[in-house]
Amino acid sequence: MNSTSHQEFKVGAFENVCCFILLYYLLLKLRNATHFIIRLQIILGSSSVARKKILADMGYEFKTMSADIDEKAIRKEKPEDLVMTLAEANADAIVGKLQNIETQEKDAKPTLVIAADTAENVQPKLHGKEDAEPTLLITCDQVVVYEGMIREKPSSKEEARQFIKDYSGGHAATVSSVLVTNLNTGLRKGDWDKVEIHFHDIPEQIIDNLIEEGIVLNVAGGLIIEHPLVLPYVKEVVRISILGLSKYFPDNYSFRGVEIL
């Protein structure tokens, strides 16, 4: 087997760098659309350590929230539709949580406006002030597609093992989405992207080690191509659709040995 350098396939810890290529692009588009001059507040709608790392590496300060929805209850036939629908469902759930938090805070600290002999409660909208700092909510999703079938997180060690065995000497695709919601205006921008990964044969011992470690049980398709145990067996990463976003590649990422500036 020919060894593959880490530099050649430095695709990022977000399971798939294309997801954040889209994010980078969408943030720029959203800034232009809303004429941002003041500093952004960002909420990452994910508890993923990998996603937090990539967003931090891009230079953004942010808070995190989890949607805690039943993603298995949301089904779509096409992977592109599924990842976009899940990103939207996560965004809706987090917006609902933020509204509940605001309601509880208002109940705890009612604001009174007094005019003459009348008084009434003031109920400001969620992030509704036009002069407030823009707050962006970022939600994402990813699935793996193997032989036309959508794969999400493995339901067991046995399923994870079979997933990785299937990839050995073959190929799979990741379909990723990013949705950015401006909580001040309600404006949403989102899209999906697809990457195909080709593998060398993956030894049984490597598969055993991955299953024993357990991380692959918590990611779509049991697939983490940037994992140090997996990376040497990645043969090629092919961008299927990049949606004309090459200008907005984040710094320090590369595909197939070519630095993207």
Residue 251, both tokens: 């710094």
The answer to whether 148 and 177 are in contact (CB under 8 A) is no
Question: In what helix (H) or strand (E) does residue 255 lie, and over which residues does it extend?
Answer: strand 253-255
Tell me the torsion sign for CA atoms 229, 233, 236, 240. Answer: negative
Pairing of strands 135-146, 171-182: antiparallel
The answer to whether 199 and 235 are in contact (CB under 8 A) is yes
Catalytic position from the list 68, 141, 193, 251: 141
Residue 226, both tokens: 């940037």
* Cα separation of the two ends of the chain: 30
141 catalytically annotated: yes
Site of tokens 């007094």: 114
Could you give the residue numbers annotated as active site?
141
